[in-house]
Each structure stands twice: as C-alpha cells, then as structure tokens.
Amino acid sequence: MTFKALAAAIISACSLFFVIGRAEAETINLVGFGDSLMAGYELPPDEAFPARLEKRLREKGHDVTITNAGVSGDTTADGLSRLDWSVPDGTDGVILELGANDALRGLSPEESRKNLDAMITRLKERNIAVLLAGIYAPPNMGADYENAFNPIYPELAEKHGLILYPFFLDGVATQKPLLLGDGMHPNAEGTKRMAENFLPVAEKFLETLSRK
C-alpha cells in the first residue's frame, strides 16, 4: 500500500469514527422520574409510560432513550431524597412526575410544593432540563385542598420557565377501559394513550434540548 493510499485509509477510518461518535453523542438521554404512574404499576417494563414514549419518539425519528426511574408509592419527599442517585450524570432532561401520593394521603400541599421546587432547583443546578408533569388532587379531598394543591404545577412551571404537561393522566383518568382494576393506575392501553397524548409536549421539550 502506498503512503497516499494508507493516509486515505486512515482519514476514512477517522471520519467514520467521528461520525459514529457524533451520532452516539447526539443521543438524548431522558429520565422519567416519578411514582407508580411512571414506574408502570403491575405492567411489564415495555408497557410502562417511559418505554411507550421512547418508542413513539423513536418512530418520529428522535434519537432518544428514556430511563424509567419511577418508584411505586413515592411521595415528593421520597423523590427529593433519592433524586441525586436516581438521575445519573449525563442525563439531558427529566420528566418529573410526582405528587399523586401526596394528594391521596392528604399531605400538606405546601410541603409538596417545597419538595418539587427543591427537585427542580437541584436538577437545574446540574444543568439538567425539566419537563414538569402535573397532577390533580382527587375531588374527594375537598375544594380547599384542591385549591391549594392544583396550582402547584403551573406556578412552579412559570417560576422556573419549564414546559408543563398539566395533567399526567389526561385522557385516561376515570376511563375504565384504560385502567387497572383499582381504578387509579393505567393498564397497557392506558399507558399507550398517555404516551400518545404526551408526544407533542415531549417533542417540544426535545427541541429545547437540541438548542442547549
């Protein structure tokens, strides 16, 4: 092999390595951080919301991975305590969905707000973007509790300049064919519907990440 041919081969190999490395570098790494609604209660991993959403985003041409960091039963306080080790370095964005268990247990809305605020602040300090998924308090908690709890998400989104998905169970809550027997958690069809409804907001979120 001549020197020129060898040099050309080396340049070609380096170019290929660069293209491959660049493609890998451009993969967007998201974490779905939440409770049983994120974890996929009683569902196999590939039917949980993060897997459903990742599949739909990839079908739309987005190079993205979504790690499922949902833990059934978690409150906002639980989430705050495990945030740092549940969201690894190298994460580009977090879909933050917590608060349902706070509301079901009638925990202080002010404490829920403080915990969510602290999580958002901590993620921003790590240069990790946040897409905030809201939750509504159950009607049986009463109007006073609803009035204190429900504004948490839009107000935090405004404070921190976040994209907000107002209600994580939009189109699924109260729909029996889309819920498990407990009437609260989505079944396989429910998570499929959730991912489809969430898709436009997720794509908008990815657009902001690509400009970072």
Rg (CA), the chain: 20
Candidate list 35, 92, 112, 185, residue with the active-site label: 185
Candidate list 35, 36, 74, 102, residue with the active-site label: 36
The yes-or-no answer on residue 36 being catalytic is yes
The yes-or-no answer on residue 182 being catalytic is yes
List strand residue ranges (DSSP E) for 1-52, in order.
28-34
User: How many CB atoms are closer than 10 A to CB 195?
Assistant: 20
Retrieve residue 128's tokens.
């990790």
CA 31 from chain centre, in angstroms, equals: 6
Query: Which residues contact residue 136 at a Cβ distance below 8 angstroms, ignoring those fewer than 6 apart?
Result: 103, 146, 149, 150, 167
Bridge partners for 129 per DSSP: 93
Return the active site residues.
Answer: 36, 182, 185
